[in-house]
Chains A and B, each alone.
Chain A
Amino acid sequence: MNQRNPGDGEPEDPQPEDPQPEDPQPEDPQPGNGIGGDDSQEDEDQEALQTYGREALRFSGRMSAPLPVETSRNFRGTVRQLAKITGRETPVLVLVMVLATMSVSLTVIGPWLLGGATDIIVTGVRQGGIDTDRLQDRLLVIGGVFALAWALGHIQNYLLSGALQRSMFRLRETIEAKLHRLPLSYVDQHARGDLLSRVTNDIDNLSQSLQQTINQMLTAVLTLVGVTVMMLTVSPLLALVAFVTVPLSVVATRIFATRARPRFLRQWRTTGTLNAQAEDAVSGHAIVTAFGRQNQERQRFAEENAKLYDSSRAAQFLSSAMQPVMMLMGNLQFVSVAVVGGLRISSGAITIGDMQAMIQYTRQFAMPVQQVASMAATFQSGIASLERVVELLDVDEISADPEPAPDPPATRGRECSTTSTSPTSPKSP
Chain B
Amino acid sequence: MSTAKITGIAALDGGQRLAVKYFAVAIVLFGAQILFGLLAGFQYLSPDFLYGVVDFSVNRMVHINAMIVWMLFGFIGSIYWLIEDESGTEVVGLWLGNLAFWLFTIAVVIVVVVYLVIQTGPGQIESIWFINEGREYIEAPRWADVGIVVCLLIFFYNVAATFMKGRWSGIAGVLVLDLVAVAGMYLTGMFYSPNLSMDQFWWWWVIHLWVEATWEVLVGCIMAWGLIKTLGARRQIVTTWLYIEVALMLGSGILGLGHHYFWIGTPEYWLTVGGFFSALEPVPLVAMVVHAVYDSGVHRFKSPNHPALAWLIAHAFGNFFGAGVWGFMHTLPQVNIYTHGTQWSASHGHFAFFGAYATMNIAVFYIAAQRWRGNVNFGGGLVDNGWKWKWALGLLNGGVVGMTMALLVSGYDQVFIERALEGATWSGFFKAQQNVWYLQGMWWRQIFGYMTLAGFFLLVWDLMTIGVRETRPAVFPTEVAEHAA
Q: Do A and B come from one complex?
A: no
